[in-house]
Chains A and B, each alone.
Chain A
Amino acid sequence: MKRTLLTAGILLATSTAPALAYIDPITGSIVLQALIGGFAAAMVAIRGVRDRVLGLFGLNKAQTADDQAES
């Protein structure tokens, strides 16, 4: 709460420019990567297993995991 108020204060004090100009877009991207990286590692691993299993039955298409997941 304190931090939010502090941020709001900074934004208000410098509000001659659009508020977004004071937000560093890279920071959020960096902080989040540990989380996203965990999911990504799991997804890559699942795909690897799936490819191997399909490969056993000769069903391994040259297609990506997401190709099927998204469709």
Chain B
Amino acid sequence: MNQPVRDLGSFRDPGGYVFRDGRRIVRAVMPRAAESFADVHDSGILKTLSDAGLMLPTLRLAASAEQLALYPGARGDHAAALYEHPVVPLISYPYEWVFSQLKEAALAHLDAQILAFDAGFVFSDATAYNMQFVGGRAVHIDAMSVRRYREGEAWGGYNQFCRQFLLPLLIEAWAGVGFQRLYRGSMAGIAFEDALAILPRRKLMTSMSGFLHVWLHGRAVIRESSEIGRDRAQAARLPKARYGAILKQMRDFVAGLDSAKRPASYWKTYAAANSYSDGMRDTKLAFVRDWAGVSKPGTVWDIGGNTGDFSLAALEGGAERAVILDADADSLEAAWRTRTKKGHPGLMPLYMDLGDPSPDMGWQQRERKGLGTRAGGADGMVALAVIHHMCIAGNLPLDEVVAWFLSLAPTGVIEFVPKRDPMVQGLLAVREDVFDDYTTERCRALIAAQAEITAEHVFEENGRTLFAWTKK
């Protein structure tokens, strides 16, 4: 039997910890929280939330004393009760989402809070990291955030909700600033100081919601010192109706936000503007479909996947899920709106600069996992029309790029784009050709050194080559 391993990101709440036990996810509840969490569980509120599609289901496990002893907490204690949740196939973080994904996560969070509040429960926090996407929908994954409402209490997660949901959405909706890079800079979310400097004053002064939640709230957060504020905070009582009104009004506010009109990115129209013919495109799609049909991968990572043409081909071929990794938010937004939400729930767009992917972050750099740490989750990978951007535009050595591709999954498809291709010619027009190692032969040899090349297709019109491979 495997020893259960505590998730390295699970340590903040002394009431309980999440463990991975083989393929299962087990929540170990510590003695200090066992009674209150059992009360929440037995009340039926968790089932109400999961039935509404807003929270992962929670199942209580029968556990002997020996089993409980296998789940030590982070503070010298041991589990008093065990619960199980379904596995989330891919953990992603808010700085990897695009506007519509963050907005959906915010609305799902508020819907869960409103549903719970009307039943006499509240959420003890409002961190965006507790929201995950399963089957193209945002769900809350932390059942232990739910507890009974206490008369007169204020919304404890208000500040966190603003910093991790509202402010990033607003800087994109009102100022046209993509939130991802700023968000990645701090685990706590966007700072009020930054948002107040970025957001147009006109908006903050003419929108009642903007004035209250951002300007007034932001000023209070920046100015209140703990020495002055703590007495007042303890004395402050929020009538129940006002607590509920803040949640509902916040939901109205967020629901009305839309990403600002930004100049359409080059990449969004890339699929239509690229250099190759329709026949070549169809051949590439069929090649990926055939590969997926043979290898039947659970999760495919589509490197530089743009709006997800090849992800879709992989899904059609038999893959269960496809993750588009791309640094163009507009393309990902288009993929989410026109594909994931329109009948392809297995398609998950993820904002990722391939030359600078999400790092390990947070406490001891283990709290939030970098892309590499999560790579074990991929059963297959495709990298079409991307290698020249990484090697020529990004100056990454071909050896390392191919080695990285092969490290991601046991099988995959790689397209090599040679120097004579018009797209590469365009890249080389503005830089010196120092890329002696960048050849089809070398790419083939690098793949063959680690994997068996199961299929290969050369396009005569431009010399591009598709390789399907499976690691030895």
Question: Which residues of A does B touch, CB under 8 Å?
Answer: 3, 6-7, 10-11, 22-41, 43-44, 47, 63-70
In the complex, what residues of B have CB within 8 A of residue A30's CB?
154, 156, 158, 229, 233, 236
Interface status of B278 (Cβ within 8 A of chain A): no
Q: A28-B217, A33-B158, A64-B256 are in contact. Are A22 and B212 (CB under 8 A)?
A: no
Do A40 and B249 have beta carbons less than 8 Å apart? yes
**Complex formed: what's the CA distance from A19 to B382 in Å?**
49
Do A39 and B233 have beta carbons less than 8 Å apart? no
Do A43 and B224 have beta carbons less than 8 Å apart? no
In the complex, what residues of B have CB within 8 A of residue A68's CB?
256
**Complex formed: what's the CA distance from A47 to B251 in Å?**
13
The secondary-structure label for the interface of chain B is helix
* A68 smallest CB distance to B (angstroms): 8
Interface status of B87 (Cβ within 8 A of chain A): no
* A22 smallest CB distance to B (angstroms): 7
In the complex, what residues of A have CB within 8 A of residue B220's CB?
28-29, 31-32
Q: A33-B158, A33-B242 are in contact. Are A27 and B233 (CB under 8 A)?
A: yes
In the complex, what residues of A have CB within 8 A of residue B253's CB?
64, 66
Q: A30-B154, A33-B242, A33-B246 are in contact. Are A24 and B229 (CB under 8 A)?
A: yes
* B239 smallest CB distance to A (angstroms): 7
Interface status of B241 (Cβ within 8 A of chain A): yes
Q: A24-B230, A28-B220 are in contact. Are A37 and B256 (CB under 8 A)?
A: no
In the complex, what residues of A have CB within 8 A of residue B255's CB?
64, 66-67
The 3 closest A-B pairs by CB, nearest first: A37-B242, A27-B229, A67-B256
Do B154 and A65 have beta carbons less than 8 Å apart? no
Interface status of B223 (Cβ within 8 A of chain A): yes
Interface status of B221 (Cβ within 8 A of chain A): yes
Report how many A-B pairs have Cβ atoms within 8 Å.
142
Interface status of B232 (Cβ within 8 A of chain A): yes
The secondary-structure label for the interface of chain A is helix
**Complex formed: what's the CA distance from A49 to B232 in Å?**
35
* B185 smallest CB distance to A (angstroms): 15
In the complex, what residues of B have CB within 8 A of residue A24's CB?
224-226, 229-230
Q: Which of B228, B230, B241, B250: most chain A CB closer than 10 A? A: B228
Interface status of B237 (Cβ within 8 A of chain A): yes
Closest to B203 in A: A70
In the complex, what residues of A have CB within 8 A of residue B222's CB?
23, 28
In the complex, what residues of B have CB within 8 A of residue A11's CB?
225
Given contacts A25-B159, A40-B212, 17 further A-B contacts (CB under 8 A): A7-B227, A10-B227, A22-B225, A25-B221, A26-B156, A28-B224, A29-B162, A30-B158, A30-B233, A31-B224, A31-B229, A31-B232, A33-B242, A35-B216, A36-B213, A47-B252, A70-B209
* B189 smallest CB distance to A (angstroms): 11
Interface status of B341 (Cβ within 8 A of chain A): no
In the complex, what residues of A have CB within 8 A of residue B232's CB?
27, 31
Q: A29-B220, A63-B256 are in contact. Are A43 and B226 (CB under 8 A)?
A: no
Do B229 and A69 have beta carbons less than 8 Å apart? no
In the complex, what residues of B have CB within 8 A of residue A3's CB?
228
**Complex formed: what's the CA distance from A47 to B250 in Å?**
13
Q: Which of A6, A27, A64: most chain B CB closer than 10 A? A: A27
Interface status of B121 (Cβ within 8 A of chain A): no
Q: A34-B242, A40-B242 are in contact. Are A28 and B158 (CB under 8 A)?
A: no
